[in-house]
Amino acid sequence: MSCSGRCKQLGYDDGIEYGIARKYIETRKWENWEMFREIMQNALDEMHEVSNKRPHVYPCRVEYKGLLPITVIEDNGRGLGIHHLLLGTSEKKTWQRGKFGEGLKLALLAAAHKGIDVVIRSGDREIKPTFVTRDIEGVPVDVFCVCYKKGLEPISGTRVEIRGINLCHIYKERFVQGLPKECFKFTIEYANNVWYDIIDKKCTFNESLIYVRDIYVSTMKDAEGKPGLYSYNLYNVTIDESRRIPSGGSVRYDIRNVWEDVVRKAHEGDSGAYELLKEFLRNVIGECKPERGSSVPVEVDMTTLDFVGSYYYDTIRKAYKEVVGEDTVLIYNDKLRDYAQAANVKHIYCPQPIGDNLENILNSAETIRRLVRDSVKQVVKPEEMDPKTKKTAKILEEIGNILFEYRLVQYPVVFAIMDPKYHGMADFELKTIFLNYLHLQDRCIKRRSWYTCLYWYISTLAHEIGHMVWKVMDKTLEFERVLTDLIGEATTNSIARSDKLVRLVNELDKTLLES
């Protein structure tokens, strides 16, 4: 039987035979999703075309004929002509979702193959896909055929009915139009029909999904091998004909583009973009792992600020300070971390790739230097001390030279008025050990106890020598070993020079007890 004969048998005027055997669609492995996607894609493109703006309404609903559900995909576009069903015929524009001009034909082929009843109404026409069995050299072959008839009551746009199944609900989250408005963290649309969205991952099954021009393509993990902090609706991603496989490089590039827009808009005063930037920084900080080589994969999004121009740095710094506080630095470099630790500077250690980038953007090294300088409010010279304090400081210096003389050759010890939270501080750049003058006054002059005074002085001096000489940080095995060595060194020196040390301790006791 011919295609035309089969269509007339079904009550249609005529049909178009494609010369495509049923086996062809089996090689494409199309299921309900691919069929539904292509029909929806056509509807979205038509809605976009006639309104000249991206549609924000999900063009799918369910109707019932008795108990039979009917998936209805309807648009207000220009309508579907019979000539649009010919292979090789496509009016797709470069900005549209469809690309190859074959999607609708393949969708109808897949529906007919699966025995799903699909009917399309457009204008005064009705269209229906089917198969006709042809005898090809004595072999029966099912060949794809699309039937049509004219003369019905006209409708505007195009209405596609997929009968016997409710696909609207099943695939709603696979189109950005099907997501609630509150899911969209950031949207930007350009005049030349280019658009992007950053989408809350909570709305996409708590998994980072990639949409391309409003339509789901894959998970971020499948595309990149890593998860993401957000889901994304991208525009310039390269995908294969099946729309299942995106190019990883183009995904990363497009995500960078959308975050550049976020930072730019935040820089220009957009409050929504600025709040999103702060949220992004909070998420990044939450994902920073304490040790390098962590087995936890780093989110793809966490590499997105490495291209941002320096003219945006002030905006990123401002947002960062509002997230973590004025004086908390973010550190990637191990040596800089040691410096911050030694100086008791609050910090976030982020050994992930974005940590390197943010350390530079946030100017963390300079911030640490500033905080160190700020903590040392005023150096107190001996001539500025009262006689009792001056004499006490001199005795302590002599005791320190006995215990740690070799270590103090290169590093002067200076008293300074500092933040009370600091007992002392090792400044690597100035190669100077600062001891807190306020603690000298409290532990020595005020309490008038040589034991309390000397206990504070020796323990603080040893601690800062450990930082200065070995460049190690607190609460590590390395620092424990350093302090053990210093205890041994101080003990040995005190035994070797006990006579002088006893004399100095007696002199310290006498000085502190003086009125």
Average pLDDT, 10 consecutive residues per value, the chain (515 residues): 94 92 86 94 92 94 94 91 66 68 84 95 94 91 94 93 96 97 94 92 95 94 89 90 76 91 95 96 83 56 79 95 93 84 83 88 88 82 95 96 88 91 84 94 96 96 90 79 94 95 96 92
CA–CA gap between residue 108 and residue 105 (Å, rounded): 5
Length of the chain: 515
Yes or no: is domain 380-513 CATH 3.30.2010? yes
Query: Taking a C-beta distance cutoff of 8 angstroms, is the pair 179, 230 a contact?
Result: no
* Two tokens, residue 18: 């494609």
* pLDDT for the residue numbered 204: 96
Query: Taking a C-beta distance cutoff of 8 angstroms, is the pair 60, 167 a contact?
Result: yes
The CB-side HSE value for 431 (13 A sphere, CA atoms) comes to: 5
| 3-172 CATH choice from 3.30.450, 1.10.3470, 3.80.30, 3.30.565 | 3.30.565
For CATH 3.30.565, list the domain ranges present in the chain: 3-172
308 C-beta neighbours (distance < 10 Å), count: 20
Burial class, 442, CB count within 10 angstroms (exposed 0-12 / middle 13-18 / buried 19+): middle
Q: Which amino acid is at 45?
A: D
CA–CA gap between residue 318 and residue 71 (Å, rounded): 50
- Cα radius of gyration rounded to whole Å, the chain: 37
Q: Look-up: residue for tokens 């390395």?
A: 478
* pLDDT for the residue numbered 297: 52
Query: Taking a C-beta distance cutoff of 8 angstroms, is the pair 108, 146 a contact?
Result: yes
CA–CA gap between residue 52 and residue 75 (Å, rounded): 14
3-state SS assignment for residue 351: coil
* pLDDT for the residue numbered 27: 84
280 C-beta neighbours (distance < 10 Å), count: 25
The CB-side HSE value for 250 (13 A sphere, CA atoms) comes to: 14
Nearest-5° Cα angle at 419, 350 to 393: 125
For CATH 3.30.2010, list the domain ranges present in the chain: 380-513
3-state SS assignment for residue 449: coil
